[in-house]
Structure 1
Amino acid sequence: MSAAATVRVEHDGAVARIVLDRPDRHNAQTPGMWRELREATDALVADPAVRVAVLTGDGPSFSSGLDLDERRPGGLLHRIATTDPGEGLAVTEQAQADFRWLSRAPFPVVAAVHGAALGAGLQLALSCDVRIVAEDAVLAVAELGLGAVPDLGATTDLPRLVGLERALDLILTARRFSGTEAVELGLALRAVPAADLEAEALAYAERLAAAPRLALARAKEATREPDPARSLRLAATAQVECVRAMLSSPTTRP
């Protein structure tokens, strides 16, 4: 990537780190960052050695949300406000497509959340499969506090994770809560001291990476499928595929 890249990828073996790399702006997000995130994920998908990814942020925060410079002429919010509504919708849907690719990646993605995860920052963490958070992290679905709507996944992810009533509370009040409360709500898997976050997330990812990539991918796909009948069908089809792969090469992982 160029010197102006805002996402970097590091990996050696089965676990990759995807790092948001705008530490001076608390990893405030831009459409360019979302495109880079999609490109980084595509590159990891193409690498058969990668079985798990850990998404984190460089510097003091995971991500403070959308860069408010996007309100300026030429920025995302300015374009949505000043173009034809259909064009604004297309711009927003492209942002969603770039942003949400992590949830469709054929391997588990673990978010390691520290510092601030606000607005689009929290929604990015929600798009991952598992969240491990610092106890003192500060999280919020902040959009309604600015008169906007969380359009990058919170409206689908939060009800699934915490139930409708709690999801509405978090979205409508835009209140801030800690990493410890995120676990209590069911929004994150575990909360740890900030100093231990990176090691905990990598250790968890290494544990997942002990399984074959094919099985990880198919289990993720079936579990994320919201329709029960289709989820069962995906699991059954995956079982046949994984067993055939396992028995065709009994001494190596598929």
Structure 2
Amino acid sequence: MTTSAVDPELLLRGGLAFEVDGPRATVTLARPEVLNAQTPLTWEALRAIGESLPDEVRVVVVRGEGRAFSAGLDKRFFAAQEVDGLPGIAGIAALSDDDADATIAGFQSGFSWLRHPARVTVAAVQGHAIGGGFQLALACDLRVVADDVQFCMAETSLGIVPDLGGTYPLVHAVGYARAVEICLTGRRVGAQEAVASGLALRSVPVGELDAAVDELVTGLVSAPAKAAAETLGLLAGVADGADPADALAAERAAQLRRLRSLAAGEG
């Protein structure tokens, strides 16, 4: 297991723990006393983790310490001009259009790297995953949930909108109509519905969540690394809307790269 290349002070202030063990990296939301509520520093630390990942990392697991994955935004964010030196909601509203856009884009970049096809990302979700917590889970490729999970997109009910990248994967997972209903009602989505609707890969008892994720990670890294990376790229292209002809062309190009690499003894 290797130590993190991310500034330890940033991780601490962002409420995160981070470790790399061979092909697996684990990001832990580590503020259980506030149900792993997030602040702008959380997103800054997440972005720093994404920028520092070693090339050998093939799977990233995102998990929460304690009884919840994440209860969403820290309550301070809603009332303050600044939170830990970064703008809160009132502070963002006071910025120029360009500065506000750049600020929110910076927040989003803490989540967007989790969908990069260079690796697979897995959210291990227990208890509450509210607002930003739901969006963080949605940012990952796969979600394994405990049977006590409660997903909730609370932003619209609070007078704001999901703006951390959650709308795209939510619609892709459950369809437009159900995404509308989930967002506008702000209701809770439990484990059984999450699996049935495509939000989650599988549900397990709370005490078995870590073991189920470990088993999944073992399976995900079993394929040769270069073949897995090419396959992820193909699947990501389809998910992003590639038409059938483009998908076929991408498969041909990827296969040719693999065959030439194998013929050259490069694995």
TM-score, normalized by the shorter chain, greater than 0.5: yes
In structure 2, the CA distance between the partners of 1:173 and 1:202, relative to structure 1 (3 Å rule), is same
User: What is the rounded CA distance, in whole Å, between the counterparts of 2:226 and 2:51 in structure 1?
Assistant: 17
> Is the 1:51–1:212 Cα contact (8 Å) retained in structure 2?
no
User: What is the rounded CA distance, in whole Å, between the counterparts of 1:10 and 1:210 in structure 2?
Assistant: 21
Residue 250 of structure 2 corresponds to 234
User: What is the rounded CA distance, in whole Å, between the counterparts of 1:231 and 1:57 in structure 2?
Assistant: 36
Structure with greater contact order relative to length (CA < 8 Å, sep ≥ 6): 1
1:128 to 115, 120, 140: 140
**Runs of 5+ consecutive residues of structure 2 not aligned to the other structure:** 1-7
Instruction: State the 1:68 CA deviation.
Output: 2.1
Give the secondary-structure state (helix, strand or coil) at the position aligned to 2:162. coil
**Runs of 5+ consecutive residues of structure 1 not aligned to the other structure:** none
Q: After superposition, where does 1:52-201 map in structure 2 within 5 Å?
A: 52-71=59-78, 72-74=80-82, 75-104=87-116, 106-201=118-213
> Is the 2:13–2:42 Cα contact (8 Å) retained in structure 1?
no
Residue 222 of structure 2 corresponds to 210
Letter in 2 for 1:31: P
Letter in 2 for 1:119: G
Residue 58 of structure 2 corresponds to 51
Query: Which has the larger displacement, 239-248 or 132-141?
Result: 239-248
Instruction: State the 1:89 CA deviation.
Output: 1.8
> Is the 1:107–1:213 Cα contact (8 Å) retained in structure 2?
no
> Is the 2:125–2:145 Cα contact (8 Å) retained in structure 1?
yes
Q: Percent identity?
A: 38
Give the secondary-structure state (helix, strand or coil) at the position aligned to 1:139. strand
User: What is the rounded CA distance, in whole Å, between the counterparts of 1:209 and 1:240 in structure 2?
Assistant: 22
Letter in 2 for 1:115: G
> Is the 1:134–1:197 Cα contact (8 Å) retained in structure 2?
yes
Instruction: State the 1:76 CA deviation.
Output: 2.8
User: What is the rounded CA distance, in whole Å, between the counterparts of 2:247 and 2:45 in structure 1?
Assistant: 31
2:263 to 232, 240, 247: 247
Give the secondary-structure state (helix, strand or coil) at the position aligned to 1:216. helix
- Asked whether 1:34 is paired with 2:43, we answer yes
**Count of aligned positions:** 249
Give the secondary-structure state (helix, strand or coil) at the position aligned to 2:13. coil
In structure 2, the CA distance between the partners of 1:234 and 1:184, relative to structure 1 (3 Å rule), is same
In structure 2, the CA distance between the partners of 1:97 and 1:11, relative to structure 1 (3 Å rule), is closer
Give the secondary-structure state (helix, strand or coil) at the position aligned to 2:226. helix
Aligned-pair RMSD on alpha carbons?
A: 1.8
2:235 to 223, 228, 244: 223
Deviations 1:185-217 (A, max 9, x none): 111110110110011011101101011232222
Deviations 1:198-238 (A, max 9, x none): 11011101101011232222222221222224444433322
Query: Which has the larger displacement, 231-240 or 137-146?
Result: 231-240
Instruction: State the 1:5 CA deviation.
Output: 4.8
- Asked whether 1:25 is paired with 2:34, we answer yes
Instruction: State the 1:183 CA deviation.
Output: 0.6
> Is the 1:126–1:154 Cα contact (8 Å) retained in structure 2?
yes
> Is the 1:108–1:216 Cα contact (8 Å) retained in structure 2?
no
In structure 2, the CA distance between the partners of 1:245 and 1:152, relative to structure 1 (3 Å rule), is same
> Is the 2:117–2:232 Cα contact (8 Å) retained in structure 1?
no
